[in-house]
Structure 1
Amino acid sequence: MSIVAQLVGPVTGLLDKFIEDKDQKNALAHEIATMSEKHAHEALKGQLEINKMEAAHKSLFVAGWRPCIGWICALGLLYNTIIANILGIWFAVPEVDTTLLVPVMMGMLGLGAMRSYEKVNSVAREK
């Protein structure tokens, strides 16, 4: 049970003591229950706006961090799957821990695929 759910129960229980109108009480209980979801949604929308501004920036140091993360993931996987195996014939080589690389790369690939799907189906917005 989440912290929000633990707090909503007692607060809505207090409404029974102070508000007699059943419709008003239900409306307030619903507002309290959805308050954290609304806040999280607004925070996410703000982060999306920041991401759009960063991606459109002309400077490589601002807009280039996403491609950099993608290249790091790709190079780590390339090293583990091909380079380490080839060098392992002659030398003892360490492996890269891919438990962090794979989820990041799959997320980036998923977002790229979603963007391509939007463009193919003409639902992508340019601005």
Structure 2
Amino acid sequence: MGILQDILSPASGVIAPVVTKLLDFIPDPTARAQAEAAAYKEAADRVQQLDLAQVEVNRGEAGNSSVFVAGWRPFIGWVCGAALAYQYIAMPLLVWVADLVVGHAVPRPPTLDDQLTTILLGMLGLGGLRTLEKMKGVQ
């Protein structure tokens, strides 16, 4: 049952217990294993269908001539990069230079949310996984 729960993990809190309970009604271990294998195959097929549908959506977005459709992902990357540059490079340097010029501590400019690195690490993690897929030859 572990494989089925893994494939259904996003919805496992709802679906997996129901499937487990239904499989418990099959007394024959061989028939139960066959039913579990069939459920696993059906779940895997559904997940693959959803993945393929998402690939088509991504392809449509990327091929669109409108910057509002095709450009949102690069925009998020640039915004995140600019925010990181401000938060960790520009602002500390500006504060340091202002302290030198004025001769005493100056009020600090506003900082950005601490979740910025979490967002960046998520984006880079996804990029890293895609790099790994490319290295393994996955299209």
Question: Which 5+ residue runs of structure 1 have no aligned equivalent?
Answer: none
Q: Which residues in structure 2 correspond to 1:2-81 (within 5 Å)? A: 2-3=12-13, 4-16=15-27, 23-81=30-88
Q: Which residue of 1 aligns with 2:94?
A: 87
For residues 10 and 111 of structure 1, the distance between their equivalents in structure 2, rounded to whole angstroms, comes to 36
Q: Which residue of 2 aligns with 1:101?
A: 119
TM-score (normalised: structure 2): 0.65
Q: 1:105 to 1:32 in 2, by over 3 A?
A: closer
SS of residue matched to 2:64: coil
For residues 51 and 83 of structure 2, the distance between their equivalents in structure 1, rounded to whole angstroms, comes to 30
Q: Count residues with an aligned counterpart.
A: 117
Q: Which residue of 1 aligns with 2:128?
A: 110
1:104 Cα deviation from its structure 2 partner: 3.9
1:87 Cα deviation from its structure 2 partner: 2.0
TM-score (normalised: structure 1): 0.70
* Counterpart residue type for residue 106 of structure 1: L
* Counterpart residue type for residue 40 of structure 1: V
Identical pairs, percent:
26
RMSD (Å), alpha carbons? 3.0
For residues 71 and 77 of structure 2, the distance between their equivalents in structure 1, rounded to whole angstroms, comes to 10
